[in-house]
Structure 1
Amino acid sequence: LLDFDFIGGISSQDAEIALREKLQERRHLIVIDNLETLYDVQGLMPILRISHPGRILITSRERYDAVNFIHHYSVAELDEAASIRLLRRTASQDEVEQVIQADDATLRIAYQKIGGNPLALRLFVGQALHSDLQKLVHDLERGESNITQTLYRFIFERAWQSLGEETQQVFMSMVFTSAAGDRASDVMATTGLPREMVMVGLDNLVRQNLVDVKRRSGVAVYTIHSLTRAFLEAKALGR
């Protein structure tokens, strides 16, 4: 939109004015990937408001509920069929023959242990470049695969470090929740923290997509992904 040399020679205020004029000249579609990785997210918010009549598409692992001009669309993880297709397509692109030739039953086991996280599925195919597929699947079944470790370093560890102490405590307590999810009162009983702290912590975790919330019989229940559970278990063991 704006020439880099031009931006380098003017103030941020003048750059914003120039950007506003450029955006109003004609419709644009701007894509900002991984918004949460930017140094100054809040400083970017005023810029997002001047996109009219164009649109800005943002991807982020965090929610920005306090920003009233952002429309949120949550993307669910891939289902089993889509996950297996992604495994095969990635294997075809990377020429990982043993994954290409694998039967659905083998890849189904990988999906059941990894889930529908595209990054984790791609990491699985990447490991199959240099490791025996059956051993990888066996390690997944025994919880000994380093796929999750790589994923955690990339995603979860950064998120963990950004959490306050009380929120970390609430997050850690989620390891004791059932696969179907538990109520806030159950989480509160595990942590021993006051209800207000637990609710603030859960809200923060939901906003960062570390914890999912759904309704069961009209009551909010909180759940975590199997990979998230494994991460918390590793944290508890000091790994």
Structure 2
Amino acid sequence: MDSDAITADLIVKTLRAWQQGQTPPPALLGLDLLRDAAPSAVEGRDLRLRDLLLQMTTDELERARRAEDVRPPSTIATRRTLLSDIAGDFAHGKAELQAWSALYHRYLAPVEYSAEQLAAEVHMDPRHFRRLVDAGARRLTEQLRRAEMAAHARSRAAHLRRHLPPPDYARLFGVDRQRAIIVSLLRQPYGRPIISIEGLGGIGKTALARAVAHALADGDDFDGMAWISARQSWLAESGTIEPITAPPITPADVTNQLAEQLGLTWLVGLGANEKLARIAEFLANSRYLIVVDNLESVSDIDALLPGLTTLADPARLLLTSRQAMAGYPLVYRHAVMPLSLTDSHALVESELERRGLAPRLEPADMERLFAVVGGMPLALKLVAAQMSRWPLATILSDLRRVRRRAPESLYTFIYRRAWLELDDAARAMLLSLLHISPEGEDLEWLQLVAGLPPDAFDSALEQLLAYSLLDAAGSAAMPRYRLHRLTITFLQTEILAQWDSGQQRE
């Protein structure tokens, strides 16, 4: 309901109708505040509205009484005690207290009084008393408007979030700045239409995209949201890789699910081009946020992205991908940064506490853990889960030597697909970077260490950057390249030999 349609006159008419046993005006029954009542049951919404107005009025009356140190009202409401209560309220001469008391005793008290009766009790001219009742109704109007605007915002946010996956975390660490940057970019009316959140598997791309979408759902920047997930598996806390049933993995699957979430189910049977054209027509008159999670799992990205690009005005697209979208000029790329040591420490202790374990992790132990896995949220959460069964030293040793299922699954989940996509030159170059400085090295250092011919080096560098196996930081003129700590640990294990031999057998 439009909050401006809530007026003091409408509230008084409603209260007076109830008092006279008549049907009140229907306008207030459309309040978003009453959505928890059955929408088709007018009687239920009517009773809910009565309770709401009574609760608001009595709450404000009690607050005003406490502020003036008025004695508590009588516990048993009789004609005599109620008149005594209003006399006590008016004895203090405070306008706010008098207004709420006048409204309550005139229309909402369990015993009915006329304005003349109440005016006589407080030794006041009836016309002046009625003005105080009207003042109370105006105050109640403002209270109801504020509550309705808040309920409308909650209802709108819930509507926007209906396709978003619920958060799978109690708290996010180290993402506030990144979330603010992406939210700001998506709010810009003439900004980049497509944003790609990129990085290694397990670094928090989906969590960041989810946090961005939920933050935007609290505002009025978008009329609707869609979330399409192409994820094919996830790493459980037990260390097993769990498949996801029937994810959309083709461009047709993605557009079909988008049409369904937009309420355009009749488009599903159309051809790809006509379907996208109809979706574009629908989106042309509204502003939508469309999220495609785990884009790298779609079978033909090059076929999908041009079609999605046609939807990106005024809609906005938010992608997450392990594969860099470097070849698409319309795409703004945001590389997810690993957590700092401080945020990593906070995440691990939060996970330990969530599992009922001692949440304290000594700084020295955290530094040892960070040296092995870095600020990789997925790896940190897996380690925290394993700490209920194994000492930290054993877990770190397993990560280096891959002696148990959990470390092997972690590496498989994060790295296997990317490793198998690299050509021999890119694999050799990645292995040659084991001793790269944590602060990064320049291009000349990479060329020297890799020892590849110029063309092979350029191709290898492009592949490592495309699969987020190598990070580029610094300025565009003088970039510095570095490996994630977990990548270094992974490259020192023997699991690569197993993958390579398995690929040869295939």
TM score, norm. by length of structure 2: 0.42
Residue identity opposite 2:484 in structure 1:
H
For residue 41 of structure 1, report the CA deviation from its aligned partner: 1.0
For residue 169 of structure 1, report the CA deviation from its aligned partner: 2.0
For residue 236 of structure 1, report the CA deviation from its aligned partner: 8.8
2:461 corresponds to which of 202, 213, 227: 202
> Does residue 327 of structure 2 align to residue 66 of structure 1?
yes
Aligned residue in 2 for 1:117: 376
For residue 225 of structure 1, report the CA deviation from its aligned partner: 1.7
Aligned residue in 2 for 1:127: 386
For residue 173 of structure 1, report the CA deviation from its aligned partner: 1.7
Aligned residue in 2 for 1:143: 400
Identity %, equivalent residues? 26
What whole-Å deviation, never above 9, does each CA across 1:113-145 have from its counterpart, x for those lacking one?
A: 2111111111111212332345435x37x9346
Distance in 2 separating the partners of 1:230 and 1:103: 22
Residue identity opposite 1:47 in structure 2:
G
Aligned residue in 1 for 2:489: 230
2:269 corresponds to which of 9, 24, 49: 9
Aligned residue in 2 for 1:26: 286
Give the direction of change, closer, same or farther, for the CA distance of 1:235–1:172 in structure 2 (3 Å limit). farther
Give the direction of change, closer, same or farther, for the CA distance of 1:32–1:236 in structure 2 (3 Å limit). closer
For residue 51 of structure 1, report the CA deviation from its aligned partner: 2.4
Aligned residue in 1 for 2:171: none
Residue identity opposite 1:30 in structure 2:
I
Q: Which has the larger radius of gyration?
A: 2
Distance in 2 separating the partners of 1:136 and 1:237: 20
Distance in 2 separating the partners of 1:92 and 1:86: 10
Residue identity opposite 1:14 in structure 2:
E
Distance in 2 separating the partners of 1:153 and 1:12: 34
Q: Is the 8 A contact 1:31 1:57 kept in 2?
A: yes
Aligned residue in 1 for 2:5: none
Distance in 2 separating the partners of 1:104 and 1:236: 30
TM score, norm. by length of structure 1: 0.83
Give the direction of change, closer, same or farther, for the CA distance of 1:202–1:149 in structure 2 (3 Å limit). same
Q: Is the 8 A contact 2:464 2:470 kept in 1?
A: yes
Q: Is the 8 A contact 1:213 1:221 kept in 2?
A: yes
For residue 5 of structure 1, report the CA deviation from its aligned partner: 5.2
Q: Which ranges in structure 1 are unaligned for 5 or more consecutive residues? A: none
Distance in 2 separating the partners of 1:235 and 1:134: 19
Q: Is the 8 A contact 1:35 1:58 kept in 2?
A: yes
For residue 17 of structure 1, report the CA deviation from its aligned partner: 1.7
For residue 55 of structure 1, report the CA deviation from its aligned partner: 1.1
Distance in 1 separating the partners of 2:495 and 2:478: 29
Aligned residue in 1 for 2:308: 48
Q: Is the 8 A contact 2:289 2:317 kept in 1?
A: yes
> Does residue 153 of structure 2 align to residue 153 of structure 1?
no
Q: Which ranges in structure 2 are unaligned for 5 or more consecutive residues? A: 1-257, 499-506
Give the direction of change, closer, same or farther, for the CA distance of 1:39–1:233 in structure 2 (3 Å limit). same
**Higher RCO (C-alpha under 8 Å, 6+ residues apart):** 1
For residue 211 of structure 1, report the CA deviation from its aligned partner: 0.8
What whole-Å deviation, never above 9, does each CA across 1:185-207 have from its counterpart, x for those lacking one?
A: 44334443212221221122123
Q: Is the 8 A contact 2:442 2:479 kept in 1?
A: yes
Distance in 2 separating the partners of 1:117 and 1:237: 20
Range with greater deviation from structure 2 (219-228 or 23-32): 219-228
**Number of corresponding residues:** 234
For 1:206, what is the secondary structure of its paired residue? helix
Aligned residue in 1 for 2:340: 79
Q: Is the 8 A contact 1:184 1:198 kept in 2?
A: no
Range with greater deviation from structure 2 (196-205 or 27-36): 196-205
Residue identity opposite 2:347 in structure 1:
L
Give the direction of change, closer, same or farther, for the CA distance of 1:108–1:235 in structure 2 (3 Å limit). closer
> Does residue 447 of structure 2 align to residue 188 of structure 1?
yes
For residue 153 of structure 1, report the CA deviation from its aligned partner: 0.2
Q: Is the 8 A contact 2:373 2:379 kept in 1?
A: yes
